[in-house]
Amino acid sequence: MKSWKLFPKIEAIAKYVECYWFLEKESFNEGFDFPKLNPDPCSHLIISGLDRSFEYMYAANSQTVSGSHWIFPHVNTFTMDHSDLFRIIGIKFRTGALYSLNLKKSIVDLDKIEAVDIKHLVGSKTFSGDFLLTNAAEQEKQVCNILDNVLLPWLLESQEDKHSDLVRHILLLLSETTVTDIGDKLHRSQRTIERSFKRVAGLSMKQVKAMIHLEEMLNYLYQLKEGDIDWADVANKYGFSDQPHLIRHLKKSIGKTPASYAKQRDLAIDIYGNFEFN
């Protein structure tokens, strides 16, 4: 297994792209074949060779695509079929970024996977997923520099409006501030900020806040051994009024109770590690 995560160097790109990441499964006996992807308010653009297909499942729903594709914001936890070998580069967009990139209609579709022709999307003649994938494992800085170059003209065409401006401010506050206080701080009515947020991010503020907190909690749990987890402490740390609330929340978002999750550890972070620490 190989992986890395790097940040765009150009500010005009970092405004919309949170990071670039790479993941390669090199042999059949590594990793777990069906890792899960917890809910995410961000869209990811996945670069892959055309010959490789990807399956994403939740409940009775299953979506399969070949080659490069979008993973749009999802409120459900996806189970991925990673039984085959694969090599992918991901571009993680910031929450609501697609609104400013003329892809507005796409983000209304939550929980969607969609095949994409990246060359066409970014309008670049020299973009080559194969080239990037061939070099990705060894030359990550080069790959990121090329991605910066390829994305820049496209991202410079982005259009901001009063809604996206407002959402940018909301997102800075969202993790630490109650939804009511955000309205006061930004001198807007509750209704106005909710409406702009829903329009840009495709999700309610409450939904995104819950996803951010879940992600933070999963990152924290990742660092602990099963026996070292104090669930009452975790509930308190991540803003749940008591343990039953935490249990219900986990069951709903990742389909498992805390105890069974701590045993199985089958989320992408558990299988592929936290890219931050690589």
Partner 1 sequence: MKIRIRQYMVSDLDAVLNSWEVATRLAHPFMTDDFIAQEKINVAEIYMPNTDTWVAEFEGEVKGFIALMGNEVGAIFLQPDCHGKGIGKLLMDKAQGLHGDLEVEVFKENSIGRRFYSRYGFELLEEKLHEPTGQQVLRLKFKAT
**Contact with partner 1 (CB under 8 A): which of 70, 127, 261, 272?**
127
Distance CA 124, CA 277 (A): 33
* Beta pairing, strands 44-47 & 86-93: antiparallel
Helix axes 129-136, 140-156, angle to 10 degrees: 150
* Amino acid, single-letter form, for residue 129: G
> Closest CB to partner 1 among 139 and 264?
139
Distance CA 118, CA 273 (A): 27
Distance CA 7, CA 1 (A): 21
141 contacts partner 1 (rule: CB under 8 A): yes
Tokens 């060894």 sit at which residue? 138
> Least distance to partner 1 from the beta carbon of 159, Å?
23
Residues touching partner 1, count (CB under 8 A): 18
Q: Residues 107 to 126: which contact partner 1 by CB under 8 A?
A: 125-126
Q: Identify the CA nearest to 78 among candidates 96, 57, 48, 99.
A: 57
> Least distance to partner 1 from the beta carbon of 151, Å?
10
Please list the residues that pair with 65 across neighbouring strands: 54
- Which range binds partner 1 by CB under 8 A, 25-33, 146-154, 169-177, 215-223? 146-154
Distance CA 124, CA 5 (A): 23
**Contact with partner 1 (CB under 8 A): which of 128, 177, 236, 243?**
128
Distance CA 208, CA 201 (A): 9
> Least distance to partner 1 from the beta carbon of 257, Å?
42
> Closest CB to partner 1 among 128 and 243?
128
CB 75 within 8 A of CB 40: no
Torsion of CA 204, 209, 212, 217, to 10 degrees: -140
**Contact with partner 1 (CB under 8 A): which of 68, 79, 148, 272?**
148
> Closest CB to partner 1 among 139 and 175?
139
- Which range binds partner 1 by CB under 8 A, 66-74, 140-148, 188-196, 238-246? 140-148
**Contact with partner 1 (CB under 8 A): which of 80, 136, 150, 205?**
150
7 contacts partner 1 (rule: CB under 8 A): no
**Contact with partner 1 (CB under 8 A): which of 3, 63, 149, 177?**
149
> Least distance to partner 1 from the beta carbon of 127, Å?
7
130 contacts partner 1 (rule: CB under 8 A): yes
Grouping H, G, I as helix, E, B as strand and the rest as coil, residue 204 is: coil
- Which range binds partner 1 by CB under 8 A, 13-21, 138-146, 222-230, 258-266? 138-146
* Amino acid, single-letter form, for residue 5: K
CB 49 within 8 A of CB 134: no
> Least distance to partner 1 from the beta carbon of 126, Å?
5
Q: Give residues in contact with partner 1 (CB under 8 A).
A: 125-128, 130-131, 134, 137-139, 141-142, 145-146, 148-150, 152
